[in-house]
């Protein structure tokens, strides 16, 4: 049976991932600090610390994959619609007729990647809250679609 202190520490480990909205990389820094401080003292905190870090690292990987899909697509579509003279002569070139014809498929893939990223961030927020609730009740929680980087 886990003590109240262990439950609170494990719950705070999950909730500390939400610090990413205030402090850049806070979703990695604070869970690592809490987990390393308590992993040898409690198996419950050790389990949840690993779960938080694996989930955040998995989301980082998914985000990088989506960015590697979306960014080159949008850059290539924009660059195909700007004539090379605009770069060579550095005049004030205005894009008047941006042509989407022939690029709808690529733009759809890029927009889908951006939409998936947005959905991923919303799902992340709610999963962190859900995991915190489960943890505060003393349950062992495992995030879905998580790659076990730390075992």
Q: Which residue has the higher pLDDT, 52 or 75?
A: 52
Nearest to 55 by CA among 116, 137, 132: 132
pTM: 0.84
Q: What is the pLDDT of residue 65?
A: 95
Q: What is the pLDDT of residues 28-49, one digit of tens each?
A: 999 999 999 999 999 999 999 9
Q: How many Cα neighbours within 13 Å face the side chain of 122? A: 6
pLDDT tens, position by position, 54-108: 999 999 999 999 999 999 988 888 777 666 666 566 666 655 666 667 778 888 8
- Residue extents of the structural domains in the chain: 4-136
Q: 141 φ, ψ to 5°?
A: -120, 140
Q: Which is nearest to 62 in space by CA: 121, 129, 125, 148?
A: 121
End-to-end CA distance of the chain, in Å? Answer: 22
d(CA 126, CA 110): 25
Inter-residue contact 146 to 131 (CB < 8 Å): no
The span from the CA of 120 to the CA of 124, in Å, is: 6
């Amino acid at each position: 049976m886990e003590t109240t202190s262990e439950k609170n520490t494990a719950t705070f480990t999950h909730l500390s991932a939400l610090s990413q909205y205030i402090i850049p990389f806070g979703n990695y820094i604070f869970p690592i600090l809490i987990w390393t401080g308590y992993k040898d003292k409690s198996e419950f905190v050790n389990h949840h610390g690993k779960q938080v870090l694996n989930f955040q690292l998995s989301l980082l990987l998914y985000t990088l994959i989506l960015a590697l899909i979306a960014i080159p697509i949008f850059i290539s579509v924009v660059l195909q619609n700007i004539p090379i003279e605009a770069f060579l002569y550095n005049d004030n070139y205005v894009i008047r007729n941006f042509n989407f014809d022939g690029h709808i498929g690529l733009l759809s893939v890029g927009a889908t990647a951006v939409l998936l990223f947005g959905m991923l961030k919303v799902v992340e927020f709610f999963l962190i809250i859900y995991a915190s609730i489960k943890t505060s009740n003393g349950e062992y929680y495992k995030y879905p679609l998580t790659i076990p980087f730390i075992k």
